[in-house]
Amino acid sequence: MPPRRRRPRGSLSPEVILDAAEAVATDGWDAFSMRAVAARLEAVPMALYNHFETKEQLVDALLDRVLSRFEPPPPTGDWIEDLRAFARAHRQVLADHPWAVAEIFKHPNPGPAAVRIGEHSFGILARGGLSENDAVAAFSGLLALNYGWSSFVVAGAVQAGYGSDEHYEFVLDRFLVGVRSGAEG
């Protein structure tokens, strides 16, 4: 049996660890562990703890990394269209990372990227004149729609049109009609 290769001391960084953690998570959360990430890196598990004190910290950093890929579309003069574009962009991040959907739902605020997403949304809703309470409700509803829809799609329920983009757009449109009427009322 050949000797086990070991990673050179000091060659790990948070980014290198997150790359490996993402690869492991993509294969399924059931097998996700510090040991699995370390094995992918050809490192000892304790080496990861120099950068992430707990598995929970590593998961939060990984989910924050996924959410940091959210690219808000440039603002227009229409806050409802900006909210629609926000919803689509947020849903796209979830669609691009189906392995992360359930975990993000379990960890709704894993770090700064989640805060940035919320602030962006609240900025749009403030432009619409919603009260703080109504803005929180609208943002919560939009997240529920996107996480619910994404979970539905990840579960493989997309058949006979269920979970289709066309159906999403229909539901999003109805949601936005309600938000607009709440802002005008």
Whole-number mean pLDDT of the chain? 91
Tokens coding 181: 């009427």
Is 149 within 8 Å of 91 (Cβ atoms)?
A: yes
Its pTM stands at 0.88
Sequence-distant (6+) residues with CB within 8 A of 76 are 82, 85
Angle at 135 between CA 129 and CA 141, to 5 degrees: 135
For the chain, first and last CA: distance in Å?
74
Please, what are the domains in the chain? 14-53 (1.10.10), 67-184 (1.10.357.10)
Q: Give me the pLDDT at residue 54, please.
A: 95
Q: Give me the pLDDT at residue 108, please.
A: 76
CA distance 90 to 70: 6
